[in-house]
Amino acid sequence: MTITTVSNEQLAKEYVDGVFEQLKQQNSHQAEFLQAAEEIFISLVPVFVQHPEYIKANILSRIIEPDRIISFRVAWQDDNNQVQVNRGYRVQYSNVMGPYKGGLRFHPSVNESIIKFLGFEQIFKNALTGQPIGGGKGGSNFDPKGKSNSEIMRFCQAFMTELYRHIGPDVDVPAGDIGVGAREVGYLWGQYKRLTHASESGVLTGKTPGYGGSLARKEATGYGTVYFVNEMLKDANDSFEGKTVVVSGSGNVSTYAIEKAQAYGAKVVACSDSSGYVYDPDGLDLEAIKEIKEVKGDRISTYVNYRPDATYTEGCTGIWTIPCDIALPCATQNEINGESARTLISNGVKAIGEGANMPSDLEAINEFLDAGVLFGPAKAANAGGVAVSALEMAQDSSRVFWSFEKVDAKLHQIMKDIYADSKAAAEKYGYPGNLVVGANIAGFVKVADGMLAEGVY
């Protein structure tokens, strides 16, 4: 008789591979979702080696399946009295750590795969913040570009007319994301109030300050990304001072990442929108960008009218050919592929901070890690937005609102803690310096322990 012993490592690997195989079969058309799951699954193998109880409780198969997916029709009338129909989503992924929490994205690319990838990532990001919030995400394939203010309002009202029955301050708390800012959140909240006859301000975050919103929420994701990168740099005896920085996008996250990087003494030389990018070798004029994007709602190409020495180039990926010390992708998923990563590395990039969700594909991440570039993964680096959303919920519940400085100081501390926890988890599980593994594990372990405590359901 031969006795074969299977090592914990082999068991862990077989378990993770088995769950991923099944996931691929069940979601074969959901590329973004599978990509996000694969990135997390790979890094969890060392956890299952040390925690066979998670395998016994089949935590991975349970956590990858959302609590529920809500998909609904949004019918609304445009300014020409034509009836338009869009699809709305809310994925309530996990409420182990607190009410489902995650933004709403309005963009034509939105589909179930994208909302699931965002919702799954959100579980671990939210756990990392140390705040009592679960994971969820939602949105619609509605395209806000070119729509009038009245059309946006009517769409938001129609969207909330279905969504309201699924959310609540202790149930599910949506917020903004791409295409959803304070204006949209205001319209959504107004409709929620009319439908529920209740002024539950904690049901949505990202509201206007002075109207139930938190100061520093608008700045939180961008500032938080820079705070996180600053921690990575400090550990490497470095800083933002005098560094050349490239930031993609020119929306909410990008604008405030630029602002904080500049405040830390960096020269930010480029930013973009979905049509192209601007390069300003003397350093971007942030006031001009705010006027173009926040006041006029215009294209970034018009930046050259403000700064004659700046250049505009059509197309987005070229932005990564600009030599820089620090790159902050703050636009959208998969904006840095392996080739762009190699270009950034050969141009001497020292640090990457992911302000957007999943902006680097798996090949790019591996290139950065192999080259020893400091890499701040989205889950950790952009968690500042949802962290301040949780602080907004706390303020709404207590009816007491805090100063900008107080919220910003709390945000700063949360980002430092996320960095420390991710770094410690990476070391504990045998991957020192790898914050991708560290952030995934630090977030996962908290949720897995909560699931064990709650039993099987």
Residues annotated as catalytic are 137
Residue 305 CB, nearest approach to ligand NDP (Å): 17
Measured from the CB atom, the residue of 330 and 426 that comes closer to ligand NDP is 330
Q: Which residue lies nearest ligand NDP, judged by its C-beta?
A: 251
Compute the C-alpha angle 136/333/41, nearest 5°.
65
Residue 233 CB, nearest approach to ligand NDP (Å): 21
* CA–CA distances in Å: residue 201 to residues 156, 205, 206, 220, 313: 17, 8, 11, 19, 43
**What proportions of the chain, in percent to the nearest 5, are helix, strand and coil?**
50, 15, 30
Alpha-helical segments (H) within 144-199 = 149-163, 182-196
Residue 160, token pair as written in the block = 């909330």
Residue 177 CB, nearest approach to ligand NDP (Å): 5
Residue 384 CB, nearest approach to ligand NDP (Å): 8
Measured from the CB atom, the residue of 51 and 101 that comes closer to ligand NDP is 101
Measured from the CB atom, the residue of 252 and 343 that comes closer to ligand NDP is 252
DSSP 83: E
Residue 112 CB, nearest approach to ligand NDP (Å): 16
Residues in Cβ contact with 234 at an 8 Å cutoff, skipping those fewer than 6 apart: none
Residue 278, token pair as written in the block = 């601007």
- Residues comprising the chain, all counted: 457
For residue 279, the cross-strand partners are 270, 311
> In which residue are the tokens 């089949």 written?
58
Of 125, 140, 71, nearest to 94 (Cα)? 125
Measured from the CB atom, the residue of 51 and 125 that comes closer to ligand NDP is 125
Q: Are 437 and 423 in contact (CB under 8 A)?
A: no
Residue 36, token pair as written in the block = 């996000």
d(CA 124, CA 437): 12
d(CA 347, CA 322): 8
Residue 28 CB, nearest approach to ligand NDP (Å): 24
Residue 179 CB, nearest approach to ligand NDP (Å): 5
Residues in Cβ contact with 117 at an 8 Å cutoff, skipping those fewer than 6 apart: 30, 32, 33, 35, 36, 37, 333, 357, 358
Which residues of this protein are in contact with ligand NDP, per CB under 6 A?
A: 176-179, 221, 248-254, 272-275, 316, 330-332, 335, 355-357, 382, 385
Measured from the CB atom, the residue of 125 and 243 that comes closer to ligand NDP is 125
Measured from the CB atom, the residue of 161 and 230 that comes closer to ligand NDP is 230
Q: Is the dihedral of CA 57, 59, 65, 67 positive or negative?
A: positive
Q: Are 65 and 33 in contact (CB under 8 A)?
A: no
Measured from the CB atom, the residue of 151 and 335 that comes closer to ligand NDP is 335
> In which residue are the tokens 């500032």 written?
223
d(CA 196, CA 165): 9
